[in-house]
Each structure stands twice: as C-alpha cells, then as structure tokens.
Structure 1
Amino acid sequence: MLVTLAALATSCGGAGSDTATTKPATGNSAGTGSGSDSSAVGNVDFDTVFKTEERFKQALPDRASMAGWTPRSASADIEEAPDPAESCGAAADWYCARIARGEANFEAVGEEAHFDVTAFADKKAAQDACRKEANWSAKYTKAQVPPVPGVESHAYYRNVGGLDGLFLIMCLGTVVAEVTLEGKGSSLDPATAHSLAQSFVPRIQKAAAAS
C-alpha cells in the first residue's frame, strides 16, 4: 500500500517542524558540522514500530524544517505482507524484512536531498539490517561525515544512474534512516549531510516518542 504524503511536501509546518535546517554554503568545510548542534530529543534506542502514515509524517522533514530547499515529493509505503526476517539472506537485500518505508525529497541549486526511513518490526530486525547494509556498502569510498551524537552511522560515496551521491546511513531503534545528497557535479559536502542529519534525527525521535 502506497500513501502519498502530499501535505508533507507542501506544508508550512507539522510535527517536529521546530527544528529547521538551512542549506549551508559549500566550500572547504568538508568534514565539519554546519549550523547548531541539535541536542537529542528522545531515546535513539526506541521500541516504537513505524507503520502508520502519521508516524512517517512526523519523522520526515517538511518545508518549514528545510529552509533553502524546494520540496519535491513525499510518500509512505506500508507493506501489507512483510517478508519474515528469517527468509532474508544477502546483505544487498538488507531492507528485505522492512514493514514500511517513508521518504521525502528536496532540491536546491545543483543538488538534491533525499530522506528515507526504513522501518522494521523490532530492534533486532533493524540491527540486522544495519549490519547487512554496512557490510554491503563497505566496498564504496568512505565519506568523512561526523556522526550525530549517540547515533550509529556511516557514510560513503556512490555513483548511481550517472549521478554522484553521498549516502549517510543511521541506525536508530527500529528504523534505518538515510540522508542522501545527489547531483551531477554537486560538491556533495559532508558538512551539508551532517547538518541535515542533525535536523532529521530529532524528528525521528519525536515521532517515536509520540503517542
């Protein structure tokens, strides 16, 4: 079942929109954080299961939290019949046992930012997915993106479909969160990825803590 979050892409606010991210200037700031260092809002080791449209709308960035970026699309895909974890094999299929996935996409001059939340039935399944993804992506060039405090993460560069990308993977509780910068000729600044992650993580934490 695919739910298009049209309101998320066009909204001027929404749950968690108090944490704003302005697109930082690119340049020689690679490897350093941009903007303020957002403090943790909740527990990154949560048990909350992300399987409703509302949960994803709370977790994914919106227009208000992405100053300097133009919203393009947002959606949530809830699996009607998820694959059981024991049926999943290769590391390349790390997302096999997901129960839901949400994404929000934004664009700025010469660059695109993609946010993904892949949800699992429990922390064990999410941790297994994180381990598989890390093993699978180890062949790519490492990107020096500073970690968000308290969050297990890694980042790498990869070319997909003729576009260069910087992929930042973060493991939180029952989800795997991704921030991807993409663009032909884009600088793919690690500082930009870090700044976006600092805004994204508190939104996920707030969504997990919401009743």
Structure 2
Amino acid sequence: MALLLALAGCGESSPKPPEPSTKPSGETSAEPSDKKGFGTVFDTERKIRATLPQPESMAGWTPKNGRAHVEEQPDSPSECGADTHWDCTAVGNGSANYEAAGETVIFSVDAFPDTKAAQAACRKEESWSAKYTKKKVPPLSGVTSHAYYRNAGGLDGLDLTMCTGTVIAQVRLEGEGSDLDPATSHTLAKTFLARIQKAAAAS
C-alpha cells in the first residue's frame, strides 16, 4: 500500500533552497537519546508510517514518494540462518523520499519482532555494509549508529544507519547536486530518530 505523505500540502511547485545542508528539519532540537529499551513492535502499516518523517518536519524539502509494507508471514531466525541478508527476520519496512536542490534523502526503516532480533540484525548489517564502505564518516552521537560514504552503480552516496529499540533506521543522501555533507545527514537522522521515538511512545 502506498504511504500517503500529505502531498496535497507540499506540492511539486515548492521552491528548492540552494543549500539543503543548512535547512531545519527539527522534530527536536536536542541531542537524540538512544531508547534501546523500547519494545514497541511496528507490525502494521499504520505503525510503520508513523515512524517516517512527515512534510511538516522537512521544511525546504519536497516529498516525492513513500510506502509501508508488512510481511504476512515473517521468517524466523531459524528459517533465515547465518547466510541470509540482514533484514531477513524483519516483520515490516517502510520508506519516504524527499528532494531539494538536486539532493535526495531516503528514509527507510526495518521493523523486527523484538529488540533481540533487531540487535542481531544490526550487527549483521554493520558487517554487511562494511563490504561496500568507501570511507567511514562520524556516526550520530547518542545512538548506536555508523555512517559511511559509498559508491554503488556509479552513484556516490552517504549512508547513516541507526539501531534503536526494535528497528533499524537508515538515512541515505545522494544525487548529482549533493555535497554529501555529514552535518546534513546528522540533522536529518535526528528528525528521523525523534519521529521513531514518538511513534514508539504512542503505540
């Protein structure tokens, strides 16, 4: 099912600012707090949509598309095994894309059945992503995370991954007009983390 991102209120005609790395996107102005202990399971499309940044918190960015998906029959750890992709045990996932001045940000979230499964997937993801790392960049402070530059299919990007509670959340910056500034990635990641924590508390 397509994720509705309130596009009616943020049309394609919105002007794009020249420097997306300086734009506010603050659902919070404080440093993020890694609430590893939240046990909320995001196992419905409504709950997954609630974790994704909305246009009102993305001033200067134009919403492009989004989605939410729930696995009807999630795989168990025993079914997945050691050699499967890190998100094998996920119970659902979602994403939201925004654009500004030639830069694209992609927010994605993978939800797991409990914190143990999420932590296992987090370790696996970090090992998996190390194979594609072009250059590591500073992680987001205050939360279990790692970030790196990478090149895939001839396209440079900056990926930041956060592990918190029962989810793995990722922020990807890319685009021909992007300067791939870690500060931009961190600002957007704080917005994402605040949204996830708010959704967890509300569920």
Specify every segment of 5 or more residues in structure 2 that has no aligned partner in the other structure, as ranges.
Answer: 11-18
Question: In structure 2, how many angstroms separate the alpha carbons of the residues matched to 1:54 and 1:42?
Answer: 23
Task: Kindly indicate whether the alpha-carbon contact (under 8 Å) linking 1:23 and 1:66 is maintained by their aligned counterparts in 2.
Answer: no
In structure 2, give the amino acid aligned to 1:24. Answer: S
The corresponding residue for 2:3 is: 5
Question: In structure 1, how many angstroms separate the alpha carbons of the residues matched to 2:81 and 2:115?
Answer: 18
SS in 2 for 1:207: helix
Shift of 1:5: 1.2
Match of 1:134 among 126, 144, 167: 126
The corresponding residue for 1:184 is: 176
1:143-172 Cα deviation digits (max 9, x unpaired) = 3234142x1000112222332111100001
Distance 1:107 1:136, change over 3 A: same
SS in 1 for 2:137: coil
Question: In structure 1, how many angstroms separate the alpha carbons of the residues matched to 2:117 and 2:34?
Answer: 21
The corresponding residue for 1:17 is: none
Question: In structure 2, how many angstroms separate the alpha carbons of the residues matched to 1:42 and 1:133?
Answer: 18
TM-score, normalization: structure 1?
0.82
The corresponding residue for 1:29 is: none
User: How many residue pairs end up in the alignment?
Assistant: 192
Task: Kindly indicate whether the alpha-carbon contact (under 8 Å) linking 2:139 and 2:160 is maintained by their aligned counterparts in 1.
Answer: no
Task: Kindly indicate whether the alpha-carbon contact (under 8 Å) linking 1:76 and 1:101 is maintained by their aligned counterparts in 2.
Answer: yes
The corresponding residue for 1:69 is: 61
In structure 2, give the amino acid aligned to 1:5. Answer: L
More off after superposition, 96-105 vs 155-164: 155-164
The corresponding residue for 2:39 is: 47
TM-score, normalization: structure 2?
0.85
In structure 2, give the amino acid aligned to 1:141. Answer: K
Match of 1:59 among 51, 55, 59: 51
Task: Kindly indicate whether the alpha-carbon contact (under 8 Å) linking 2:41 and 2:166 is maintained by their aligned counterparts in 1.
Answer: yes
Distance 1:144 1:105, change over 3 A: same
In structure 2, give the amino acid aligned to 1:130. Answer: C
Shift of 1:119: 0.3
Question: In structure 2, how many angstroms separate the alpha carbons of the residues matched to 1:90 and 1:166?
Answer: 27
Match of 2:193 among 184, 193, 201: 201
Determine whether 1:122 maps to 2:120.
no
SS in 1 for 2:21: coil
Specify every segment of 5 or more residues in structure 1 that has no aligned partner in the other structure, as ranges.
Answer: 14-21, 27-33
In structure 1, give the amino acid aligned to 2:3. Answer: L
RMSD: 2.5
